[in-house]
Structure 1
Amino acid sequence: MSYTAKTTYYFDEPGPGNTKDSASFAVERAEELGIKTIIVASTKGGSAEIFADAVKGTGVSLIVVTHVVGFSTPGVWEFPKSLADKLESEGVRVIKGTHVFSGLERAITRGGAKLGGASRTEAIAEALRKTVAVGLKVAVECTLIAADQGEIPVEDEIISVGGTISGSDTVCVIRPSHTSGYFDLQVREIVAMPRNR
């Protein structure tokens, strides 16, 4: 039997105070494994800016996945367009896509229809949130969004980063899949996560 020793980092608490360290750990593991892409979730741009600084000069590309337009307010994109333009001019991809673990399902169970109950999709999301970390659910969802938009190949490992409410606190190595092949996705390593959730 063979194994490779890797460092895993545990934050005492979740939250935005872990974002700079998460960026550092993500770049560190990408360089160790020869991974060429980091994906980070960012709602209003704070995490995006920190990660953009962290990848400069490393040869690692950055994809920022934002909330969809209308996530909080109909017709409104929460991510500042001026920041998206600036990041894209620096070679960072900024994408938005329908949330895989909510989207239409949420309209049925909680939205205008209010039919009640929970969907199987929401059960998967809740399992990821509660048994491991909210950031794991976010990282997996952002990976699916990026794969479905053709931003990443599904054959290559990537680093994906999510957080708890705001900031970044969960860093994972993931072998991606498209949403339609969800169970082919593999979370291969958890590089960092909050212990207390």
Structure 2
Amino acid sequence: MGFVTRNTYYFDAPGAENTPDAARFAVERARELGIRKIVVASTSGWTALTFREAMKDTDLHLVVVTHAVGFSKPGEWEFAEEAAGLLRAEGATIITGTHALSGLERAISRSPRLGGSSRTEAVAEALRRVVAVGLKVAVECALIAADQGAVGIDEEVIAVGGTASGADTVCVIRPAHTATFFDLQVREIVAMPRDR
């Protein structure tokens, strides 16, 4: 039986200040494994632009997953139009889709008449609490990207999430569609915060 040795990075604490290092670690691991796509969660565009900078002069493709329209305010997209223009001009794919690990479920759990957590939200909470908030985000972004056809379910990708803002968790994931969630595989955790 064989094995490999690779670096795993641990941040002292979660947070946006880890974003430049997370971007560097993502590019490093993508090159080591011959992975072509980096999937990054970005709310405003700042994280995506940081990753774009780290990916300059590489043949890596950036897939940016944003909050759904109306996530914070009805009818509003939080992503900066200027950032979207810059990213698209450089060939990045920007996906704005329904959150795979909440979506309609959240409407039910937040309802005063229905209330209670759903099974989908229990899966999301388990990923958040047991490993890291950023892992839940990375998994969700891989699902959304697969559902939108931006990544294949037969390829490994680097998937990146964060705790509140920025990026602090980097994973190697073999994606799946949301409808086949349990086919998704987190194959490596490249970086994450130790204290959550």
Query: TM-score, normalising length from structure 2?
Result: 0.98
Structure 1 partner of 2:90:
90
Answering whether residue 21 of structure 2 is matched by residue 21 of structure 1, we say yes
Partner deviation per Cα, 1:120-144 (whole Å, 9 max, x = no partner): 0000000000000000000000000
How many residues align? The count is 196
Give the residue type in structure 2 aligned to 1:97: G
Distance apart, 1:154 and its partner CA: 0.6
**Gapped regions of structure 2 (runs ≥ 5):** none
Structure 2 partner of 1:141:
140
Partner of 1:102: helix, strand, or coil? coil
Partner of 1:153: helix, strand, or coil? coil
Answering whether residue 2 of structure 2 is matched by residue 2 of structure 1, we say yes
Give the residue type in structure 1 aligned to 2:161: G
Q: For 1:22-171, what aligned pairs fall within 5 Å after superposition?
A: 22-111=22-111, 114-171=113-170
- Quick one: distance in 1 between partners of 2:139 and 2:121? 13
Answering whether residue 170 of structure 2 is matched by residue 191 of structure 1, we say no
Give the residue type in structure 2 aligned to 1:116: G
Contact 1:175 1:186 in 2 (8 A): yes
Q: 1:114 to 1:190 in 2, by over 3 A?
A: farther
**Gapped regions of structure 1 (runs ≥ 5):** none
Partner deviation per Cα, 1:164-188 (whole Å, 9 max, x = no partner): 0101000000001000110000000
- Quick one: distance in 2 between partners of 1:31 and 1:128? 27
- Quick one: distance in 2 between partners of 1:41 and 1:13? 19
Distance apart, 1:116 and its partner CA: 1.3
- Quick one: distance in 1 between partners of 2:25 and 2:186? 16
- Please identify runs of 4+ aligned residues in structure 1 that moved more than 2 A: none
Partner of 1:47: helix, strand, or coil? helix
Give the superposed CA RMSD: 0.8
Partner of 1:166: helix, strand, or coil? coil
Distance apart, 1:82 and its partner CA: 2.1
Structure 2 partner of 1:172:
171
Q: Which shows bigger deviation, 99-108 or 114-123?
A: 114-123
Partner deviation per Cα, 1:79-130 (whole Å, 9 max, x = no partner): 012211221011111111000111100001114x541111100000000000
Contact 1:107 1:114 in 2 (8 A): no
Percent of residue pairs identical: 64
